[in-house]
């Protein structure tokens, strides 16, 4: 037995020999490796300015080292709690609403029997994803303005006696951005759920139908349980973006009246870093977000692994 194992091991080429025998495949990875090094790993060295009082005229090497000063300034800032509240609230609403909407849309689309209407609905649902956020934001601003179509319909129907300033109500601002994100991304986000549903063995549905299960029961007892592993993986991956809270959407929909609800970490970093040229402070906040994002992914992955047995690793 041991001789056979050793003989088998002797016939197995080493890593170096396997690498040389696959040199053509390794060459394919060279451009991707260079791209990753240039655009991801080398710029990461710039995080050193988070621990410096960085100045453009002095550069990385001559700027004075200040340690954790910028991190302390950020954490002791009275605005930090408001920023974290807004960021986490909008991110959480967007994650939950987007996930639920994508799952429901994928299930409803799968229930369409005829292929032609199914393709039309699916194609139309993709279109908002390819519309730029600038156009999307302007569309919502026009719709929700005091003189916009929604207020005009409410006034005409007698449901309101005066125009409602939708975009000037702080807590409502979160829900408007959530609705905007769902409308824009639901079709695109549903693609992976549609693929997961189509990969389910049709014989399972046929057996349930033969046992008298209706459409609702088949969805509840077959489709949703078999979708849970996919949902779990996507939630784990997307949980890392909770602390990010978006940027472009808030920046375009922002107005001074709802500043206490609209300002998030990314827009704050942009204003402090680019607007006030406080590069070290902005880098410190970004580094803080990255560390928290990794921590959230690790914790969420651990929780899902413990309670659902679905995890990334």
**Co-location of 133 and 28 in the same domain:** no
Which of 297, 190, 291 minimizes the C-alpha distance to 239? 297
Distance CA 91, CA 84 (A): 10
Asked, for residue 106, whether it belongs to a domain, the answer is yes
pLDDT tens sequence across 158-195:
888 889 989 888 889 999 999 999 999 999 999 999 99
DSSP, residue by residue, 157-206: TTS-SS---GGG-HHHHHHHHHHHHHHHHHHHHHHHHHHHHHTS-HHHHH
Instruction: Please indicate whether residue 9 or residue 251 has the higher confidence score (pLDDT).
Output: 251
**Co-location of 31 and 85 in the same domain:** no
**Co-location of 249 and 121 in the same domain:** yes
**Co-location of 223 and 138 in the same domain:** yes
Beta-carbon contacts of residue 44 (< 8 Å; ≥ 6 apart) = none
Asked, for residue 141, whether it belongs to a domain, the answer is yes
pLDDT tens sequence across 87-127:
999 999 999 999 999 999 999 998 888 888 888 998 899 89
pLDDT score at 7: 42
Instruction: Judge whether 48 and 60 are in contact, CB under 8 Å.
Output: yes
The confidence band for 20, taking pLDDT boundaries of 50, 70 and 90, is confident
Q: Is the pLDDT of residue 146 over 80?
A: yes
**Co-location of 92 and 152 in the same domain:** yes
Distance CA 14, CA 93 (A): 51
What total number of domains does the chain contain?
2
**Co-location of 154 and 270 in the same domain:** yes
**Co-location of 84 and 29 in the same domain:** no
Distance CA 168, CA 171 (A): 9
CATH number at residue 290: 1.10.3720.10
Distance CA 118, CA 257 (A): 43
pLDDT tens sequence across 240-297:
889 987 888 998 998 888 989 999 999 999 998 888 888 999 999 999 998 999 999 9
Residue where the block lists tokens 């949703």: 224
**Co-location of 175 and 84 in the same domain:** yes
Q: Is the pLDDT of residue 1 over 50?
A: no
Q: How much is the pTM?
A: 0.83
Report the mean per-residue pLDDT for the chain.
87
Asked, for residue 312, whether it belongs to a domain, the answer is no
Distance CA 86, CA 81 (A): 9
**Co-location of 5 and 104 in the same domain:** no
Domain that holds residue 292: 79-307
Asked, for residue 299, whether it belongs to a domain, the answer is yes
Residue 151, SS3 per DSSP = helix
**Co-location of 127 and 215 in the same domain:** yes
pLDDT score at 139: 93
């Amino acid at each position: 037995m041991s001789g056979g194992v050793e003989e088998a091991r002797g016939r197995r080429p080493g890593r170096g020999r396997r690498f040389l025998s696959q040199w053509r495949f390794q060459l394919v990875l060279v451009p991707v490796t260079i791209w990753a090094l240039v655009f991801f790993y080398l710029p990461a060295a710039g995080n050193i300015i988070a621990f410096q009082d960085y100045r453009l005229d002095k550069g990385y090497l001559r700027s004075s080292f200040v340690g954790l000063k910028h991190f302390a300034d950020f954490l002791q800032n009275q605005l930090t709690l408001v920023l974290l509240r807004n960021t986490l609230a909008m991110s959480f609403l967007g994650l939950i609403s987007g996930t639920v909407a994508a799952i429901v849309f994928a299930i409803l689309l799968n229930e369409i029997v005829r292929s032609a209407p199914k393709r039309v609905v699916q194609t139309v649902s993709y279109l908002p994803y390819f519309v730029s956020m600038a156009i999307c934001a302007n569309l919502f601003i026009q719709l929700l303005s005091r003189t916009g179509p929604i207020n005009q319909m409410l006034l005409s129907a007698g449901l309101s006696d005066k125009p409602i300033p939708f975009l000037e109500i702080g807590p409502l601002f979160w829900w408007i951005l959530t609705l905007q994100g769902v409308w824009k991304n639901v079709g695109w986000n549903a693609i992976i759920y549609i693929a997961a549903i189509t990969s389910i063995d049709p014989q399972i549905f046929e057996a349930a139908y033969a046992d008298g299960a209706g459409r609702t029961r088949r969805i509840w007892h077959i489709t949703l349980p078999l979708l849970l592993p996919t949902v779990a993986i996507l939630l784990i991956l997307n949980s890392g973006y909770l602390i990010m809270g978006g940027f472009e959407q808030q920046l375009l929909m922002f107005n001074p009246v709802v500043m206490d609800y609209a300002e998030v970490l990314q827009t704050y970093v942009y204003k402090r870093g680019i607007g006030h040229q406080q590069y070290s402070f902005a880098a410190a906040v970004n580094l803080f977000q990255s560390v928290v994002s990794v921590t959230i992914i690790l914790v969420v992955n651990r929780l899902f692994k413990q309670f659902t047995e679905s995890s990334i690793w």
